[in-house]
Chains A and B, each alone.
Chain A
Amino acid sequence: MSKHVHDDRPWIKLDSDLQPEHAAFAEPEWAEQGDGAESSGKLATSRRGFLTALGLSAASMAACERLPVRRAMPYLIPPDDITPGVPAYYASTCLACSANCGTLVKVLDGRPVKLEGNPEHPISRGGLCAIGQADLRALYDPTRLQAPTIDGQAATWDDVDGRVRQRLAQVAAGQSIYVVSASITSPSARRAIGTFLAPYGGTLVEHDLDPQSPSAARDAYRVLDGMPLQPALDLEQVDLLVGLGADPFGTGPDPVGNTAAWAARRRAGEHYGPPRHVQIEGSLSLSGANADQRWAATAAEREQIALWILGEVANRLGVTGAAEIGTALAGLSETPPHEADLVEIVDALIGAPGRCLVVSSSERSAEQIAVALTNRLLGNEGHTLNLERSMLAQRGSDAALAAFRDELAAGTVGAAIIVDLDLVGRSPDGEALGGQLAALPLSVAVATRPSASTAACQIVAAAHQGQERWADAQPRQDLSTLAQPTIRPIFDTRDPWENFLTWSGSATSQWREFLQQSWAANDATDWPELVRTAGLSAAVGQTEAAHDVEMVGSEPPRPQNQLAAPSAAALQVLTTASQQPAVSGAVEIEIITEVSCRNGSHAANPWLRELPDPLTRVSWAGCARVAPSRARDLGIEDGSVVELATEGAVVTMPAVVLPGQHPDVVAVPAGYGIWDEADPDSVDPARAEAVAQLVAYAADTDQGPQWRGRSVQLTNTGRTSVVPRIQIHAKTEGRPIIHQVSAHDEAVHVPHHPDADLWEARDEPSPQWGMVIDLDACVGCAGCVVACQAENNIPVVGADQMARHRDMYWLRIDRYFVGDADDPDVLFEPMLCAQCDHAPCETVCPVAATVQSEDGLNQQIYNRCVGTRYCANNCPYKVRRFNWFKFEPTDPIERLVLNPDVVVRSRGVMEKCTFCVQRIQSERIDARRDGRPSFEVQTACQQSCPAQAISFGDSTDADGPIALLSDKPRAFQVLAELGVKPSLTYMARIRNRDDAGEHDTSDAPAAAEHGGTP
C-alpha cells in the first residue's frame, strides 16, 4: 500500500508503516498465497499516510536519543510505525569515511540490518562501497569500547565530565589545548569544537595519516591562487582522463562518486564516443586496472611526465605564461620514457580542451602544480574540474600535526583530546608520543574501538558508532547531509561531539538539539522533513554559504579563475622538480592504501579484513607487492618473505608478485598492523611493527610525508609464509571466459555452439529472473561483495580458512591478467550463481536438495542438504560454498548483524547465491497483495554497485533490461557451450585502444611465468 510513497520518495521506504492504526492488525499483512483480494481494500498512500511518515521520523528520533528510561512497559497498543517483521528504511549518511555517501538504513524490529546506497544522493547515486556496507558490522562489534574509562578503570560519564572539567580548569595559562581528529566533514561538529576551544584559544588539528591524502593538491592551489582547495572531479564531462598515480575509483577521495560518474560517462560512450583513460603509476591500482591504456613509471618519472606534459601543452597552446613555464622547465632536459605515447596523449589533450582531465595523487609539489597548471591551460577548470565545489573531505594538514608534535615534545601542551584517530598506533615513534600523552595534565581519547591511543590516554570517552549517531556532513561545499541514528546506543557510549558540548558548558549540551539549531539557523526547511530526506531537501546554496562562514578552518568558495600567468612562487616550485634525487640501485617504496582496509582505520572490521584485495586477491594480510621481473631476479614467489631495509629499520613481510607493477617499485599497503587490544592475535605483531616502521619511514621527511619514491633495499629471505589468497591463478589460460573488445568493434566473437538439447523444454512462465553484468562499468571495487555478505548472512571464516580456500562468498570478483606480465590488461569478472536453467548441480544431488524453481531460480534447500558436495564439484562456475564448520557467529552482539529474512546456515550444508530470493519473495507478496501482475526487484549487489553495472529483471520481458542488454553485441555468457543455460549474461569490457580486440584474453608466454601459479 505504500508503493506510491516508495515511488515518490525513493529514499524512504515505509512499507506498511503508513497504515492506519488498526488496519495493520485487522488484516493479515503477508498474503503469502496470493490472496490479494482480501487485502485489496488497503489504501494507496494518502496525504494522511505521508504525514504519518513524517511523524514516524520524529518519533524514531526521540526513540533513538540516549535519554534516561523513565518507564518501560510492553506495547499494549502498538505504535503505528513499527510492525514486527516489516522493515522500515531511514535515510541517513555514511560516516565510515569522509566521502559521506548517502545511505538508506534498513531497520527491522529496532535494529539496522542493512545499509544501502541512497539513490537520491547527488554524488553517490545509490552506490555504497565495501567500507560503507561493512560499517554495519562495526556497529555490532563486541570488541568496541563499551563504557568510558578513567586511568583504565571503568567510570561513569559524570566522573568523566567532572574529571575533564577539573583538569581543564587546572590547565595553566601558558599551556595550550589541542583537539586532534581525523578529517571532520561535519560543519556542526566544527562549531561544537570551536565553541569548546574558543575560551582556551585551543587548536583543532586534522590529519588522516593517509597516503591518498590530497594535501599536496590543495597546497598546489594555495601556491597558485593563494587559496587551498581541492576541486571536485566532474568525470561525466571527461573524454580523456590522464591519471598520474591517482586512484579516483579505488582508494582516493570519494571513490563511489567518481566511479558512478565515470561509469555514466562510459555508458554514454554509445552516443558521445567512448571516453579514454590513460593511467601512469608505479604500483597497479584499481583505477589503473580499469584504464584503457596504462604503463608503469616510478614516482620521479611521473613527476617528470607531469612537467613534460605541462611544458608541451604550454608550448603548443602558446598561452599567456607559456614562456615563463618554459623557462622554469628549462632545467628539465631528459625526455621521459614512453615519449611516443606521451606525444600522442598531449595531442589528444590539446584536442579535447575542457573535456579532458589530468589527476595526480603525488605529494610532490612540483607535480601537483604542473597538473593544476595543465588543467588550467587546457580550460578544464569549470568544466571537468569543478572549483566551485571544493572537496572538504580529507583536509588533513601535515604542518598542523607537526606543530602539535613539537609542542607536545616541548611540554607546553596542557590538554589533548584525540578523536577517532589512532595517532599513537599509526605515527612514527608512536611509543614516545604515547608516553607524552600519558604525562599530560589531561589526555582524552574519543574513540569507538580500543587502540594504542586509547591505551595511552588517561580518559577514554567511548563513542557512538555511525548508526547510533546524529550527524551532519559536508563532504563538498555544495552538499550538506544529515545522519540519523537508527538504533538506541548498544553500549554506554556518547556521541563524540556531545563531549565537547558537555565539557564547554554550552547552553545546549544535547548534541541533537545543537545540530538541529545549527541547521535551523541556515535552513528554513522543517526539521522532520530534513531528517526524513537526510538533509537532501535543504536548499543547497543556503546551506553552503551559511554553514561555511562559521566553520573553523573551512575555506570560503573561491572566485572564478582566469587564465593568467602563474605566479613566481608557482614557477619556483616547478624548478624544484629536477632537484629531487633520482632512485638508484635500490628499489623505491610506495606506501599504498588497499581498497578494503584503506589507511587502517577499518582494519578491525572482519568483513573488510576478509574481503580480498581486488588486485592481489589477498585477504587478512598486507603483503609487499613486487613486479614479476624483479621477483624473477630475486627468486621471489607469492608468499616469499622479503626484507625491506630502510635507513632506519629492517622489516620483513610476505610478498606477492603483482603484474603491472614497476620493476623498481615495491608497494606496501599502509592499512595493516593495527594494534588490537581485544584480539592481539588478529594481527601478526611483527608485521604490524613492520608496516608502522615503513609508514614512519615514508612520513619522516623534511618536506612532509613522502609516501612514494623513497629508496629501500629489497631482498628475499628465502623463507615463505602462508598468505590467505582467494585466487591463486591469475590467467585465463586463453579460455573464452571473459572478453574485452575495442571501442571500434564491440562484438564479442565466440565460436558458435549448436543449441542441442536432450531435455524437453521447460515451461517458462513470467517472470524468469536474469542478470546482466556490464564489465565495462564494473571497476572491481567489491562493494557488491560486502553488500551480499550483509544481506545474506555470509559468515567470516578467518585468515586460516581463507588460506585453505574456504571463503564463503556467494559473489566474488575474479581478476584476470591478460597479455604481458609487466604490462598486462586487468579484467574483473563478478562471479555468482548463474541460476542455470539446465543446472548441472541439480541432477547430481542424491537427496534433491537443489532444484529448479518456476521462476528460473536454482534453489538450494539447506535443511534437505546432507552435504555430499557433489553439486559443487559439478558446478562449472565454482560458486557453491560449503559450511566446513559451524561458521555462524555466537556472540549475542555479533549476532545482531544477521538479516532475519535470510536463513543462517548450519554446519555441513551447501549454500550459494539465491538472486536474493528473500527480496524477490517480499516484492512478489506485495505485488500479489496489490494485484500487480509484474514487479521489480533489486538484488543487494545491484543496489550497492556505484557503477550500476548490474541489471536484474525478468528475462521474458521483451522490453526489460535483461532482454535488451542480452541482445547487444558485447553480450556473452560464460561457459554457455556446456549447455547449462545460465541466467547470467556479461557485457564485454571495452578498451578504448586500437589493439584491444587483438589482445582479447590470450596469454602471452611471458605472463605464464609470474602472476601467480599455485
Chain B
Amino acid sequence: MTEQHDVSQSMDPRFQELIPGAPSLSEVTNEIAGPIERGPGKLWWGAFATAASALTLGVILVAYTVGTGIGVWGLDRTVGWGWAITNFVFWVGIGHAGTLISAILLLFRQRWRTSIARAAEAMTIFAVMCAGIFPIIHMGRPWLAFWVFPYPNTRGPLWVNFRSPLLWDVFAISTYFIVSLVFWYVGLLPDFATMRDRVKGWRGRIYGWLSLGWDGSTKSWQRHEKTSLLLAALATPLVVSVHTIVSFDFATSILPGWHTTILPPYFVAGAVFSGFAMVLTLLLMTRKLMHLERYITPDHLDKMAKVLLTTGMIVGFAYATELFIAWYSSNPYERFAFWNRAFGPYGVGYWIMVFCNVVVPQVFWSAKARRNVGLLFVASIFVNIGMWFERFNIIVISLSRDFLPSSWTHYVPSMVEVGILVGSFGLFFTCFLLFVRYAPVVSFHEVKVTLAEQKHGAHHAADEDPVSPRSNWTGDTFGTSASRTGGIQS
C-alpha cells in the first residue's frame, strides 16, 4: 500500500485519483464481477420490479393504441405530433452521451472516461431503442412501417421519398444504432470472456457464446483494438450527424418555430447536455446499486458536471439567439411563434425549460457542488426534465399556433400517451438493470489499462498513443491472474 501511495504521488496529475486506492488487478475484477456473481440485492429487485411494471404498462398501452387508432392520444388536426415525437427526440438526445464518451473522449485521450464508458454506451443503446419505438407507433398504420426502407419491392416498385427529412432520420438513427451496438458489443467481448472464466455451469456457457470464443491471444487483442479504433472513428461523426438530422425534421419544414438554421448545432449541444445528465443520473444510481464508488469517483462526477455547465450555457445561448433572430427577422409569424413560446398558453413549459437548463446548471460553478452526490442527482433530474420540455416546446407550441389562427388548438396529452412515456422509461430501466445485472458495468480491461497508466503514468504520459496501452495490454485475458498480467506489463 505504501508503495502504491508513492507511485500515485509521482504520477502524471492527469491520472491522479481516477481510480483511488489503486487496487490490484484481481481486486478490480472481483469488485466489478462480484455483484454479478453474488446475485441481485433487494434494491435491485425493487428497481427491477418497478421498471418491469412500467414496461408492461407501456406494452399494453402501445397494443391498445395500435389496435384502436392514434385517436386514443390527445393529438388533433393541428397538432399532428405531440408527446410521442417529443419523447422520440428526448430519447435520441439521451442516446448521444454514450457514443460521445466512448468515441470522442477516446479520441481526445480523456482517460477518466474508462470507468463510465460502458454504462454510457449501454445507455445509448437502450435510449435509442426507446427512441426508435416512438416514430413507429406514432404512425397511423405502424404495420406498414417497413415502407420507409428503400429496397426493391413488389409494390411497383415504389421507392421512398429521398427529399423527406423523416427518411434521413431512418438512415441516421438506424446507422447510429447499429454502429453503437457493435461498438458496445465489441468492447464487451473480452469482459464477457472474463465472466465466462469466472462463472461455471450454464451461465458460463452463455457468457462463452457471448464472448464469441475470445481467446485472449495477442492477435485477438490487436484485432480488437483496431476494430475499436475504427468503430470509434466511425461513431464520432455520427454523434454530430444523428441529432443534426433529427433537427432537420424541424429545420427544413416551413413552420414558424421549426424553420430555423440554428437548430442543428442547438440540437447537438442539447443532446450532449441531456445525454450527460442522463449518464449522471444513471451512474449515481449504478454506483450505489453495484457498489462501484471506487471506480466512479467524485472526479468523474466533477468532470461531468463541468460538461453539463458548458453545454447548459450553450443551449442557453441558443435560446437567446432564437429570440433575437425571431425579433430581428421582422417576420410576424416568427416573432409570434417565439413570443407565444414564452408567454402563450404553454408558457409555463418554456420557463420550466429555462430554469432547468440554464439556471440549474449554474450551481456547478462551485467545485463543492460538482462533488455533492445528492445535488448532482437532483440537478441531473432537473436537466432531464428541462430537456424534455425543450423538445415539447419546440414541437407542440410551434404546431399548436401556426400560420392561420383559425386552426389554432390546444393540445393536451391523453393518459395513454403519458403511460407510453412511462412505459419507455420502463423499457429503458428494465434493459439497464438487466445490463448491470448480467454484464460488467465497468470495463475490466479498460480500467486495468488506466490502472497501469496510473501506476506508470509518469513515465509514459508524455508521448503516449491514446490507444497503444490497450494494444500492449494483452494480459488478464482470464481476469484471474494478477501475476500474469504483471509479467506481461513488465
Q: How far is the CA of A866 from the CA of B155 in the complex (A)?
A: 14
Question: Which chain B positions have C-beta within 8 A of A876?
Answer: 254, 402-404
- A869 in contact with B404 given A728-B409, A840-B253, A844-B166 (CB within 8 Å): no
Instruction: Decide yes or no whether B4 CB sits under 8 A from chain A.
Output: no
A68 to chain B, nearest CB (A): 46
Q: Which of B145-168 contact A (CB under 8 A)?
A: 145, 147-148, 158-161, 163-167
Q: How far is the CA of A847 from the CA of B336 in the complex (A)?
A: 32
Q: Interface size on B (CB < 8 Å)?
A: 51
Q: Contact check: which of A735, A801, A814, A978 meets B254 at CB < 8 Å? A: A978
Scan B382-417; emit 1 where CB is below 8 A from any A CB, else 0: 000000000000000001011111111110000000
Which residue of chain B has its CB nearest to the CB of A727?
B406
Q: How far is the CA of A760 from the CA of B139 in the complex (A)?
A: 32
Q: How far is the CA of A877 from the CA of B147 in the complex (A)?
A: 27
Q: Contact check: which of A729, A866, A978 meets B408 at CB < 8 Å? A: A729
B86 to chain A, nearest CB (A): 13
Instruction: Decide yes or no whether A338 CB sits under 8 A from chain B.
Output: no
Scan A869-883; emit 1 where CB is below 8 A from any B CB, else 0: 110111011101111
A867 touches B139 (CB 8 A): yes
Instruction: Decide yes or no whether B170 CB sits under 8 A from chain A.
Output: yes
Q: How far is the CA of A455 from the CA of B74 in the complex (A)?
A: 40
Most buried by B among A815, A866, A909, A980: A866
Question: Which chain A positions have C-beta within 8 A of B201?
Answer: none
Q: How far is the CA of A733 from the CA of B332 in the complex (A)?
A: 10
B167 touches A846 (CB 8 A): yes
Instruction: Decide yes or no whether A732 CB sits under 8 A from chain B.
Output: yes
A848 touches B141 (CB 8 A): no
Q: Which of A810-866 contact B (CB under 8 A)?
A: 812, 814-816, 829, 831, 840, 843-848, 864-866
Question: Which chain B positions have C-beta within 8 A of A807?
Answer: 77
A865 touches B408 (CB 8 A): no
A847 touches B74 (CB 8 A): no
Question: Which chain B positions have C-beta within 8 A of A906?
Answer: 141
Q: Contact check: which of B159, B164, B165, B409 meets A805 at CB < 8 Å? A: B409
Question: Which chain A positions have C-beta within 8 A of B403?
Answer: 735, 737, 876-878, 975, 978
Q: How far is the CA of A880 from the CA of B76 in the complex (A)?
A: 11
Scan B114-146; emit 1 where CB is below 8 A from any A CB, else 0: 000000000000000000000100111110110
Question: Which chain B positions have C-beta within 8 A of A909?
Answer: 140-141
Instruction: Decide yes or no whether A491 CB sits under 8 A from chain B.
Output: no
Q: Contact check: which of B75, B164, B409 meets A844 at CB < 8 Å? A: B164
Question: Which chain B positions have C-beta within 8 A of A730?
Answer: 405
Instruction: Decide yes or no whether B240 CB sits under 8 A from chain A.
Output: no
Which of B63-71, B231-239, B349-357 sits within the interface?
B63-71
Most buried by B among A814, A872, A873, A878: A873
Q: Which of A321-352 contact B (CB under 8 A)?
A: none
- A735 in contact with B399 given A868-B139, A908-B70 (CB within 8 Å): no
Instruction: Decide yes or no whether B444 CB sits under 8 A from chain A.
Output: no
Q: Contact check: which of B81, B145, B148, B333 meets A869 at CB < 8 Å? A: B81
Q: Contact check: which of A737, A843, A865 meets B404 at CB < 8 Å? A: A737
Question: Which chain B positions have C-beta within 8 A of A868?
Answer: 135, 138-140, 166
B401 to chain A, nearest CB (A): 8
A1014 touches B140 (CB 8 A): no
Q: How far is the CA of A812 from the CA of B170 in the complex (A)?
A: 35
Instruction: Decide yes or no whether A734 CB sits under 8 A from chain B.
Output: yes
- A866 in contact with B254 given A805-B77, A806-B77, A876-B402 (CB within 8 Å): no
Question: Which chain B positions have C-beta within 8 A of A865?
Answer: 140-141
Q: How far is the CA of A411 from the CA of B48 in the complex (A)?
A: 80
B202 to chain A, nearest CB (A): 43
Q: Which of B62-101 contact A (CB under 8 A)?
A: 68-71, 74-78, 80-81
- A873 in contact with B408 given A801-B71, A843-B164 (CB within 8 Å): no
Question: Which chain A positions have C-beta within 8 A of B167?
Answer: 846
Instruction: Decide yes or no whether A886 CB sits under 8 A from chain B.
Output: yes
Instruction: Decide yes or no whether B255 CB sits under 8 A from chain A.
Output: yes
B158 touches A816 (CB 8 A): no
A867 touches B70 (CB 8 A): yes
Q: Which of A962-1014 contact B (CB under 8 A)?
A: 974-975, 978, 980, 1014
B161 touches A848 (CB 8 A): yes
Q: Contact check: which of B69, B80, B404, B408 meets A908 at CB < 8 Å? A: B69
Instruction: Decide yes or no whether A804 CB sits under 8 A from chain B.
Output: yes
Q: How far is the CA of A53 from the CA of B249 in the complex (A)?
A: 58
Instruction: Decide yes or no whether A907 CB sits under 8 A from chain B.
Output: yes
Question: Which chain A positions have C-beta within 8 A of B249?
Answer: 870
A733 touches B148 (CB 8 A): no
Question: Which chain B positions have C-beta within 8 A of A200?
Answer: none
- A867 in contact with B159 given A733-B336, A840-B253 (CB within 8 Å): no
B161 touches A885 (CB 8 A): no
Q: How far is the CA of A544 from the CA of B87 in the complex (A)?
A: 71
Q: Contact check: which of A732, A815, A882 meets B140 at CB < 8 Å? A: A882
B164 touches A731 (CB 8 A): no
Q: How far is the CA of A847 from the CA of B150 in the complex (A)?
A: 9
B161 touches A866 (CB 8 A): no
Instruction: Decide yes or no whether B21 CB sits under 8 A from chain A.
Output: no
Q: How far is the CA of A847 from the CA of B166 in the complex (A)?
A: 9
Instruction: Decide yes or no whether B213 CB sits under 8 A from chain A.
Output: no
Question: Which chain B positions have C-beta within 8 A of A886?
Answer: 69
Scan B331-358; emit 1 where CB is below 8 A from any A CB, else 0: 0110010000000010000000000000
A176 to chain B, nearest CB (A): 55
Instruction: Decide yes or no whether A471 CB sits under 8 A from chain B.
Output: no
B139 touches A866 (CB 8 A): yes
Question: Which chain B positions have C-beta within 8 A of A14?
Answer: none
Q: Contact check: which of A846, A881, A907 meets B164 at CB < 8 Å? A: A846
B255 touches A873 (CB 8 A): yes
Question: Which chain B positions have C-beta within 8 A of A882?
Answer: 70, 77, 80, 140
B141 touches A731 (CB 8 A): no
B70 touches A847 (CB 8 A): no
Q: How far is the CA of A11 from the CA of B403 in the complex (A)?
A: 42
Scan A938-981; emit 1 where CB is below 8 A from any B CB, else 0: 00000000000000000000000000000000000011001010
- A735 in contact with B333 given A816-B405, A978-B254 (CB within 8 Å): yes
Q: How far is the CA of A366 from the CA of B122 in the complex (A)?
A: 86
Which residue of chain A has its CB nearest to the CB of B66?
A908
Q: How far is the CA of A787 from the CA of B408 in the complex (A)?
A: 25
Other contacts beyond A728-B408, A877-B404, A878-B77: 5, CB < 8 A: A814-B406, A814-B407, A847-B158, A868-B139, A877-B407
Closest 10 CB pairs of A and B: A867-B140, A908-B140, A884-B71, A869-B80, A814-B406, A805-B76, A878-B407, A848-B161, A908-B141, A846-B166
A-B contact pairs, 7 of them (CB 8 A): A737-B403, A805-B78, A846-B161, A868-B166, A874-B253, A883-B69, A975-B403
